[in-house]
A and B are shown apart, each in its own frame.
Chain A
Amino acid sequence: MRRVEHVMGFPVSVRIDDEGFPEAPVDGFFAWLREVDARFSPFRPDSEVSRLDRGEVPAPGPALREVLALCEEYRIATGGAFDVRLPGRGLDPCAVVKGWSVQKGAELLSAAGARRFCLNAGGDVIASGGPWRVGVRHPEHADRLCTVLDLTDRAVATSARYERGDHILDARTGRPATGLLSMTVVAPTLTEADTVATAAFALGAQGVEWAAARENCEVFAVDAARRVLRSPGFPVAGAQGVAA
């Protein structure tokens, strides 16, 4: 079964290979993502995030608390390079909300009995079962890949500037992060892969080692000089005896 819907401004593709898997849990998956968009979008004046930022709600609800705790964890871990509260800007937890919400959505599908499925939320991928062959977009050629990986029960996220320009700022300087062309992170969950990729991209060149040193994270980075740096455990397809 395959479905594509657009939520939060990006396409979400679902492919479930389990025979006869029902539509209802997939409807639930997309309903959850739309609920997250309504509650956590900083672009909607009536969202919980916007109201919290304006001081109209005394305290965030449990889900937003969980998101904000993740934001704070990564702000500390990056020495302030990753920060959802930039001076002169409103609270913007988008960088954490995306991976977190899609990961929760994948858990809804697993709970409904899905075993072999692949989700792609605007370039962020969750592979359940596998192996799935996941290409990483080349940072300079939209129709080419810079590597292919075999992914089983893991997630992968890529941060780069080629789609939306200088949208990731190094909060330590307030300036766009430009040290890397692209940063791809494989982790057990998309919550971690997406946030680590964004935070490492904000850190720039030093983000490569920072991400590689994190437990369970594998990295594939392209620096400004077009040099590839990858961790030995990065699951490149057909290499290092990966089961095919």
Chain B
Amino acid sequence: MKRAIPVLVLSVAGLIPVWRYAPSHDTGSSSATQAAAPASTPSVSSSGGTTTTVVPGSTLDTEKGPVQVEVTFSGDRIASVRMLRQPDHPQTRAAVPKLIEETLQAQSADIDTVSGATITSDGYKESLQAAIDARG
């Protein structure tokens, strides 16, 4: 845990600019954030080889309201970070559309071009795109 606490502090410090980030508006003001309540007691559970530790972070008062995160460690590694408190501000209410879940299909179709991971010039010869280019 001695190593985990500095990591947690760095994580919180790292999250604040991310959350504060606004692309075009809200320039200028950069009032300092203040650390308030100290971190609560972490809960530790152990199963098998690795120890899972959940650490609630300090509450940070920012200009848009209080922010608190909870970090779950698997051993010394951060497994996940969860927002416990966040201000009611549009920027923090990410509008994630309802994602449609499907099974992966393998199909063939008449197409104009193919999108895929970047292929090298060496790999091009055997690619679908090369066949489309050759067909003209």
Contact = CB atoms under 8 A, between A and B. Distances in A.
**Are A and B interaction partners?**
yes
Interface of A: 2, 4, 6, 9-11, 13, 15, 73, 76-77, 79-80, 98, 118, 120, 122-125, 132-148, 156-164, 173, 182, 184, 208-210, 212-213, 219, 222, 226-233, 237
A137 B128 contact: yes
Contacts of B2: none
B38 interface: no
Contact of B133 (A2, A142, A210): A2
Interface residue tally of chain B, by bracket? 35 or more
Interface of B: 14-15, 17-18, 21, 23, 77, 94-121, 123-124, 126-130, 132-133, 136
Given A145-B111, A157-B115, A209-B99, A164 B17 contact: no
A123 B116 contact: yes
B90 to A, nearest CB: 12
A2 B111 contact: no
A124 B114 CA distance: 8
A138 B106 contact: yes
A85 to B, nearest CB: 15
B99 A230 contact: yes
Nearest to A161: B117
B107 A145 contact: yes
